[in-house]
Structures are given as structure tokens and as C-alpha cells.
Chain A
Amino acid sequence: MAIPIAYNLRNLVVRKTTTIMTALGIALTVATLLAILALVNGLRVTLTASGDPLRIIVLRQGADSELVSNFARAQFQDLKFKQGIATGPDGLPLASLELVTIANLGAVEEGSEVNVNVRALLEVGRQMRPAVHIVSGRWYRPGQREVVVGKLLSLQHASAHIGNKIRLGRGDWVCVGIMDSGGGSTDSEVWGDLNQISSDLQRIEILSSATVRATDAVTAKALVNDINNDQRLNMTAVGEQEYYDRQTGSGTPIRDVGIFVAIIMAVGSSFAAMNTMYAAVARRSREIGTLRVLGFSPASIMLSFLLESVLLSLLGGVTGCLLALLLLNGYSTQVGSNFATMAFRFTVTPAIMGVGLAFALILGAVGGLLPARMAARKEILTALRAV
């Protein structure tokens, strides 16, 4: 017969100091793990939100990001009239030639600088991204030395505000607006007029990449294949979603380091849980003897102590989840990808919290196993005789 769970719960309550301290230790471990997972997840969510199933990014063959790609204006003329590219309201193909480069912003704190992605594009490029809209100020005017900055960028950097100057190419550019793309990587980009920026950077003929919009999902696939197989173009096409999916790779080292840290901390906390459980077993020696006299089997005693350890760690796990949820969720941060920083928010999801809880459970089970076995193996008489 099993020992009622209430017995374990009451025991945890009676020794509340020890319970709280052990559970807090586990909570911190779980919170660390969750922080890392939420960070990587935030990065993924941001990058995924950047992709549209119909948009296709065209890069020079061999390039794996817009930043290292080269795209001549002449090549763009060949690409523009490919079959399957949708046309805009003005009857022109929805194909946008773009220049992506890096600008250096002085950060809020003195001495540190941040590199941000600058995207130079024409009117059609904006038309193709209807999700991007201005939240304050206005769009840049073609032919003017004006730029707009992403929402998250404006939160994090003093120089990314309306009216401030951003240094790029041969001079300063005035920031005239703040744009919001609804959670994509555009939120940490700077946008400006293609012709103006490319001439300033002396890159009028050689730009970075092109983005085209397919008429529908089936055509999108065919268009990707068509561009990839066109020897004359010498280009690589990739669906925007897949492109951003690949960029998620920049979060992998962070995730690996984080998981490593969490596992080491878990080893430490499971030792601590073990300590607590050994003390519990030692103090309740007489109780264990009594339980045995009452007829509970060694197996049910072992189960009971294991359960108590799991309950303890579960308490820690829940606290850890709450810590992560309250302190971290939505907190915006940044990581570097491809030489430019990208801002995003920590995103704690139920799935991530589930991982945290499972982690805590395993930790508690491992920590409780040996003490529970010890409790089960106690001789009735010696247990009863213990002071």
C-alpha cells in the first residue's frame, strides 16, 4: 500500500527553511536553463516572423547572407522579368533591388559601439513588405539624406531617435521616422533610399541582393528552382522563410553554452537536493521504523521519499518558471548575426516551461534516489531505536 502524499507534503511544510532553500537552488538552475531557451526562442521567433512564404531572396551564388552577397544592376534586369514574379498595382514586377550594409551606432553606454544592418531600397521594396509601417515620424524621402530606424533599435540606442544623425558612408543621415514590422528582424534595421545610399557608398552598380515576390506558393517553388538553374544569372534563390531559418544558426553557440551551464548547475543542485533528502531520512528514522511496523513495505517507503524529493524539485521548477516568466519574458536584448546586431525579446512559451519542469523533475528524481533507497533499507529495530 502506498503512503499518502499528504505525509510528504506535511513534511515539506514542517521543514520549511530547508525546503525553501533547496527549492530556490533548483529554481535558479531551472531559471538559468529557461533564460537560455527563451533567448534562443526569441531569436527564432523574430527571424521566423521576418520571413514571408511568397518572398524570395536572390543572392550571388556562394553567398549565404545578404551582407556578403554582390548583385550587379545589369543582372537585376535579367531577373526582373522572370516568369512567376507578381506584379504590383502599377503593372511593374514586384522585384526589389537592395543594398545591405553595416552602420556603426554609438551605443547608449559610453565606449561601446553597435553595428546595425542598413537596408537601402526603392519604393517597390517597401510595397512588398506591407507589414512594415511607420509608428512615429514619417518615411524617408527619396533623394534626401534621410533614414528610418526599427522600433527595437530606437529603444536600445540613443542615436536611433527622430532628429538624430547616423553616420554612414561619407556623411551623416537624419533619422526621420521609426518603423515597426511586427516582430521581425526589420525592427533592428535602418532603412533608406537605394539611390542615395548606394551613391554615397560608391556602390551604384554593385548592390547586395534582390527580393522578389511570387504570385503564389506553387510558383514560389518553381521560381526558386528556375533562378537556381539559370546558368546565365549565376544566382542563388532561397525562400525568405528558409533564409531566416538558416540565420537562426547564429543562436546555436549561445544555446550550446547555455545548456552546458544549466547542466553543470543541475549537477550542483541535485547534490544539494540529495543532501536535503539524506537529512530528511536521518531525522525521520523513527518515523520510518513506525511506518514499517504499521505494515508499509520497503518499496512504498522508497517511493514515498522519492516522491518527496520530486515534489521538492517540482516546487523549485515552478518557482523557476515564474522567475523566468516575470523577470525575463519580453525583456529585449540583442545578439550579433553576420556582423550586425539584431534586437529581439526573450520569449518564454509553455513548451519551454514544460522543458524546465521536466528538467526539475529529473533533477529531483536523481537527487532523491539514493536517500530513498537508504530509507527503504533501514532495519526496523535500528530505525525505531534511533534517537
Chain B
Amino acid sequence: MRYLPLILKNCWRNRRRTTLTVASIGVSMCLLGVVVSMYHAFYMGAPAPDEAVRLVVRNRISIAVAIPLSYRDRIQRIPGVRQAMYANWFSGVYKDSRNPKNMFARFAVDKEKLFQVFGEFQIPEDQKKAFLRERSACVIGRDVASGLNLKVGDRLPIKGDIFPGDFEFTIRGIFDSPRSSQVMYFDREYLEQSMSERRRGFVGMYYVRIDDPAHSARVAQAIDDEFHNSTAQTKTESEQAFTVGFLSLLGNVKMYMIAISAAVMFTILLVSANTMAMSVRERVREIGVLKTLGFTPAAVLGLILGEACALSVAGGAIGYLISTLLMQVVAKSPFGGFLPALPLIEVPVAAVCIAIAAAIGVVSSLVPAAGASRLPIVEALRSSD
């Protein structure tokens, strides 16, 4: 530790190289930071409190296959269930579907229960009442409203595809959500009217609000057991697992993430190793002097490893900070709807990033550091490079 000032001084000697190395590592680490944050959010993060109390029930075969409306009362009766809200993924086309701005999720739901099941949605009381009163009313998330410049009272024409027909909605409310809110909800009764006889009585899924997050596994099992011998078996999972499942339709997301991380880490390793090799080569004579002064080989080794570590940790920290900013941008994009609410600084993610950076620093400088520590004094002093 007492060598820390010396290590830092050495780092700062070739300022341009240090700056470039730290910048290079920082830029790459910010990618790694984004990947690690997403991985954490998808596969490891604890769900937000409002999400933890929600389960999603869908047809065991696929989310694209419907389940009977009649399941609602049976789900409702299961101990631990507070509210069961049916919902249909409506799909549909707003204006021109090629413009990504016009792409937002649309759900036909049990509107009486919407704001009970999604307790975190904030909506003015009068707007909520207006939404409940009118059959063709809809509510939209703040992100849809600001993206398309819509306000309460506007008309929202949607062309149905899964559910054919021209639907005309009136926006009666705009709600705020802690997550991305690229979504619109409307009354399923309105949709049911337009359905053919054959399709009535079927819904896409149920959102279930339970009494206690600790019971979620038990309640999910109880729901699936209830319908085990029915024509449509169900699969109940936490909202988080459901979202991840939805995302996996995009392909093997986990593999993409791991591949990107590996490429990024290897690049950083090369950058850092290159820098350290260059800086050791320039300092051979100086190392001879240090050894003459009585620095042991171990101390020389430590000095060089420490220098590499300091550089890559600095790069890692900067990269992580940039990545938090990037994540805020990601959370605002349409893709952000898949993500749980993200705190600005996630301590485990930051720790992982910094630790990875430090490890890369050590590994990258092992070869030049070992070489320098083994170098005989006379030879080092004689070096003219």
C-alpha cells in the first residue's frame, strides 16, 4: 500500500498514453456495464415490489393460444389471490406500422381491475372515472402520449389484425408508470362485441395480484394444479419470468450477451496488455535503478501489476458511469418495456464491473511484470532502449 503514490506517479508519467488507455478501456467497459446491468435485471435482479406481487397465467402451449374466460372465477377463488384480471394482446396497427413511434403495446383488459392489479400506475381520479364510464375509452402511458403528441380527449383509431376490424378509441386518461409506458389499455367488453361467435369467451392471459410476494411460488403452483385436468392447461409464472420468456422469442438473448461480453473483455485485455508492455519496455533501465536501490523482485512485480490495475479500474469506473447513463436511454426506448425499473446505481453491478476491470488489469500485465521482476540488475542498467 505504501507504494500507492509511486504507482500513481508512474501512471501519470506518460499522460497521453494513460488517457488513451483509460479512455479505451472506459469505452469498452461501458458496453460491458450495459450488458451486465441487463443480465442482472433479467436473470438475477429482485423484482420491484409492485411487480413481485403479480403473476401471469397463460396457456401452457404458448402465449399465442387463448384460455377460457371462465377461468377467472376459478383463479379468483384460489387462496392468496387478490385480483385476477383477464387481458388480451390486441396487436393492431396505428397509422403506419413501419414508423417505430407508432409501435406500442395494446391490451384489451378488464378495466375495472386495471388500476388495482397495476397499483403502481398513477392516474388522476377524474380521468380514471371517465375511462371506466365509457365503453370505447382507452388509457395510454405517458411515453405513448409524449411520443405521439396525444392528449386526453383525442381519438385513437386502430386497425385490428388478430381481431379484425376498425376500432376507434377515445383517450380518457394518461397514466404514469415507474417503468417505460409504451402501452395502451382498453375495455375488453368493447372488443368482445366485435368478435365472431366462435372466439368469444377466450382471453390471452390473466394478470393475478397476490397478497404476499412470499407466496408467489405456492399460488402459481395452485393455479396450474387447478387447471391440470382441463382442456387448456395453464402456465403461471412471475411477471418477471413472463417478460424474460417473451424476450427469449427474440432469440437466445443470454448467448448474445455472453458473446458480446467475451469479445469486449478480450479487447480490453489486449489494450491493457499492450499499454503495459510498452511502458515496461521504456522503463527497463529505471527498473534496474529501483532494484539497485533495494526494491525486491516481488515489489517490482507489485508495482507493475498495481499500475495496470489502477489504469483498468479507472477505466472500469468511468465505463460504468457512462453505462448508467446509457441504461437510462435504454429504459426510455420501446425496448425498455421489457426491463424492470432500474435504480441509477446498482451496487452489485458496479462491483462486478470494477472487479472485472481489476482482474483484467492483473492478467494483462502478468507477462511484462514477471519479466521485469526477473530481470538481472546489470542487464537492466545496460539497456539503451
Contact = CB atoms under 8 A, between A and B. Distances in A.
Interface of A: 17-18, 21-22, 24-25, 28-29, 31-32, 35, 60-64, 67-70, 101-104, 112-113, 115, 167-168, 170, 205-206, 249, 253-254, 261, 264-265, 267-269, 271-272, 274-276, 278-279, 283, 333-336, 339-341
Contact of A275 (B24, B65, B93, B159): B24
B64 A269 contact: no
A60 to B, nearest CB: 6
Interface string B57-97: 00011111100000000000000000000000001010001
A103 B62 contact: yes
7 contacts: A21-B277, A24-B270, A61-B164, A102-B61, A264-B28, A268-B24, A333-B251
B264 A279 contact: no
Interface string B236-252: 00000000010011111
Interface in B302-346: 335
B250 A335 contact: yes
B64 A275 contact: no
Interface stretch (B13-21, B132-140, B146-154, B291-299): B13-21
Given A62-B159, A103-B62, A268-B25, A336 B251 contact: yes
Contacts of B159: 62
Contacts of B198: 205-206
B64 A339 contact: yes
Given A24-B270, A32-B263, A206-B198, A275 B278 contact: yes
B221 interface: no
A334 B278 CA distance: 43
Contacts of A253: 250, 335
Interface of B: 16-17, 20-21, 23-25, 27-28, 30-31, 60-65, 91, 93, 97-98, 159-162, 164-165, 196, 198, 231, 245, 248-252, 259-260, 263-264, 266-268, 270-271, 273-275, 277-278, 335, 385
B278 A265 contact: no
Nearest to B245: A113
Contacts of A274: 20
A265 B231 CA distance: 52
A276 B161 CA distance: 57
A272 B61 contact: no
A69 B113 CA distance: 30
Given A104-B62, A168-B61, A269 B24 contact: yes
A170 B231 contact: yes
B30 A264 contact: yes
A213 B264 CA distance: 49
Given A267-B24, A271-B23, 10 more contacts: A31-B263, A62-B165, A68-B162, A101-B65, A102-B61, A205-B198, A267-B27, A272-B20, A275-B24, A278-B16
A133 to B, nearest CB: 28
A143 to B, nearest CB: 22
B164 A167 contact: no
A299 to B, nearest CB: 23
B272 to A, nearest CB: 9
Nearest to A18: B274
A167 B277 contact: no
Contact of A62 (B31, B62, B164): B164
Given A278-B16, A335-B250, A272 B270 contact: yes
A90 to B, nearest CB: 32
A307 to B, nearest CB: 20
Given A102-B65, A103-B61, A272-B24, A70 B263 contact: no
A278 B278 CA distance: 11
A103 to B, nearest CB: 7
A32 B260 contact: yes
Contacts of B65: 101-102
B271 A101 contact: no
Given A29-B267, A102-B64, A333-B251, A22 B91 contact: no
A68 B161 contact: yes
B43 to A, nearest CB: 12
Contacts of A104: 60-62
Contacts of B260: 32, 261
Contacts of A22: 270, 274
Given A25-B274, A339-B249, A271 B20 contact: yes
Contact of B267 (A103, A168, A265): A265
B335 A62 contact: no
Indicate the member of A18, A271, A335 with the most B CB atoms within 10 Å: A271
